[in-house]
Structure 1
C-alpha cells in the first residue's frame, strides 16, 4: 500500500510493492493517489523492471493479487498464502531461493500441522513457482521440483453404523413426521440426506429450491468442488426429507457450512460418538450406493472423474462382499 506525506503545498507518495520501490511528488493528494494506484497496478502486471531485491514475500503478494483472486476458492488460497508470508521462507530473496529453503520450511511446518495440510500448502507453492518461472521470469527454475512432500496419510475408511445414525438423530430431535425447525433438527435432516445422496456438506448447504425437481427426483448443482455442474438423482428417502421442508424459493436447509459443523459437533457430544466427521457420510453413502449402481453411474452421481478417487470412498466390508457372491 502506498504512503502519503504532505510537504508544504505538495504531496509526496512512496510505493513499495513486489520488490519495486518508487516515489513521486504532486500538487494534490488526489493526483498522488491516482498515480500510485496506476503504478501499483502496473507493478502487479509486471510492467516495471525486475529488481534484484525481490523476496519470496513479493512473489506471493503478486500471485495472490493476480492469480488467486481469479480462482474458485481464491479466498481460501489467499488466506494460506498470507500465512506463508509470515514464515522465514517469505524473507528469502527470489534470486537465492533453492530447494533447501523449501525443505527446511516443510520440516518446520510438519511440527505444527498435519502432513495433509503441508501437502496442500506445497501444492500452492509449486504453482506459485511454476507461474514465476514460465510467465513472469522471476525464477530461473522451480526449486520445489526436487522437494518431496510428506507421505500422505491413509484415507479415512470410517463407516457409520445404524446405531450411530439413530443416536445422532435422537440427539438432533429430528422427527420423520415433522418439519425440522431448529438448527439441530435441520442438521439431523441434513445428516440423513447426505447418507442418501453422497453430497458434500458444501453442496448440501448451497442447495436452492429452484434447482430441485421433485417430480424428476433430481437436484441440479451448478457449482461443485471440481468446478463443474452435475445432477444428483434422489432416492425416495431423500425426496421424503425434502418434502418435509418444501418451500417456494431460497436456500433448502437454511444453514451455513460453519453452523452445520458447529451443530454437528454438538450432536456428536450429545450422542457420545467419537472420531466421526460429517464427511464420513460420503464414505457411507458411496459404499451403500455401490450395491445399487455400476461404477460409472456411481462416479457420475457423486462427481468423481477419477475412478481411483472413487475407491478411496468405497469401503465395503468383507462380509458385505461375501453376501453379494451368493
Structure 2
C-alpha cells in the first residue's frame, strides 16, 4: 500500500506491495504525491497473477539456486554466471513467488537496470533469467504455462566495438608494461596482438601445447567448444623463446592478476576506452590488412560464423589505400 510523508518542504511518496520492490518519488504538493500512489498501486495490481498448483510457495530465488547448482557448473564461464545468478537471487525479484511472476515484473527489472548499466548487460541478464525459467518449466515443472520474459521487449543488441590501437598507443602500453613488477604483462600483450587469442586461451596454454618445430600452439576446450591449432608469427614465437619454463603453463598468472595489471598499465599510459579483448580485434584486423584470406583468419581466430568474424574486423582505410598502388 502507499503512504505519503513530509520531508522538509516536500512530500515523499512510497508504495510497497508484496511481490514487488518498493517505489518512491518526491513531490512538491501532497495532492500530487497521493495521486501518484493511487496510480502506481493501480498499475501494479492490474498485472494478472498466474495460478499454479505446483510448488505455489516456490520463490524465484529458489529456482535460481537450483539452476545455479545443477546447470551452471556445466557451462563455460560458470564463475561469471554464478555471480550473476547470486545477484538475481538477492534482488527484489528473487523474493517473488514463481507462480506470481508476470511480464510486468521483468519490465520493471529491465527499466531499473537500464538506469545503471548498458543495454547489452540488461539483455544478457534477462536472457539468463529466461533460461532459468525455461529450466523450471521444462525440467522442474514449476507450473507456469509460459515464460513471462517471452512477452517483454528486450533492450537492443549492442553496437559492435570498433576500437583499435591508435597512433603510439601500443608503444605506450609496452613501455608501462615493462615497468610492471610482473614480467609477464608485456609478453602477454605482445602475444595477444600477434595471435588474436582470447585472454582465457592465453592463460590456459601449456608448454606441452607448443610445437616448436611447426611453430604452432594447440588450444583445447576453447570458447566455442572446438580445439584449434594457431600458427605463431615470428614475434609471437620470439616471445615464447624468451620466457622461462618455470611451470607447465606458458603464462603462469591468474586472470584477476592480469586484469588488475591491465588496468594499471592503461591508466599509467593514459589510454582510454581500451579493453584487453580489443587486442583480439586489433590482431584480426591486422591479419586481413596483411593479406590473409577469410578462411585463413578463421582458422587462426576460431570463428565458425563468418559474420561474427567480420564483427571483429575493423580495417584502417589508410592501410587499404596503400594497396591501391598495384592499380596504378
Cα distance in 1, alignment partners of residues 140 and 90 from structure 2: 23
Relative to 1, partners in 2 of residues 1:225 and 1:57: Cα closer, same or farther, differing over 3 Å? same
**Hey, what does 2:132 align to over in structure 1?**
128
Q: SS of the residue aligned with 1:247? A: coil
User: C-alpha displacement at 1:75, in angstroms?
Assistant: 2.6
State the alpha-carbon separation in 2 of the partners of residues 98 and 301 from structure 1. Answer: 45
Alpha-carbon distance in structure 1 between the residues aligned to 2:241 and 2:73: 39
Describe the superposition over 1:273-309 as per-residue Cα deviations: whole angstroms up to 9, x where unpaired: 2222221111110001113321122112111111111
SS in 2 for 1:85: helix
SS of the aligned residue for 2:286 comes to: helix
Q: Distance in 2 between matches of 1:251 and 1:162?
A: 33
Residue 144 in 1 paired to residue 143 in 2? no
- The alignment covers a number of residue pairs equal to 271
Unaligned runs of 5+ in 2: 1-52
Partner of 2:302: 303
Task: Select 1:230's aligned residue among 217, 228, 231.
Answer: 228
Aligned to 1:106: 110
| CA positional deviation for 1:211 | 0.8
* 1:242 partnered with 2:247: no
Name the SS of the counterpart of 1:231 in structure 2. Answer: strand
* Aligned partners of 1:99 and 1:143 also within 8 Å: yes
- Which sections of structure 1, spanning at least 5 residues, go unmatched? 1-48, 175-180
CA contact (8 A) 2:54 2:141 kept: no
CA distance, structure 1, for counterparts of residue 161 and residue 130 of structure 2? 26
In 1, Cα distance between the equivalents of 2:315 and 2:308? Answer: 15
- The answer for the alignment partner of 1:41 in structure 2 is none
| 1:1-326 superposed matches below 5 A | 50-138=54-142, 139-161=144-166, 163-173=168-178, 182-183=181-182, 185-247=183-245, 249-290=247-288, 291-325=290-324, 326=326
Q: Deviations for 1:60-89, whole angstroms, at most 9, x for unmatched residues? A: 121112111222222321221110012221
Give the aligned CA root-mean-square deviation in angstroms.
Answer: 1.9
Aligned-partner Cα distance in 2 for 1:74–1:268 = 28
Q: CA separation in 2, counterparts of 1:146 and 1:246?
A: 56
TM-score (normalised: structure 1): 0.78
* Alpha-carbon distance in 1 for matches of 2:174, 2:99: 58
Contact in 1 for aligned 2:192/2:279 (Cα 8 Å): yes
Secondary structure of 2:168's counterpart equals helix
Q: How far does the alpha carbon of each residue in 1:114-155 deviate from its partner, in whole angstroms, 9 at most, with x for none? A: 222212211211111222222222121111112222122322
For residues 207 and 164 of structure 2, the distance between their equivalents in structure 1, rounded to whole angstroms, comes to: 30
Runs of 4+ aligned residues of structure 1 deviating over 3 Å after TM superposition are none
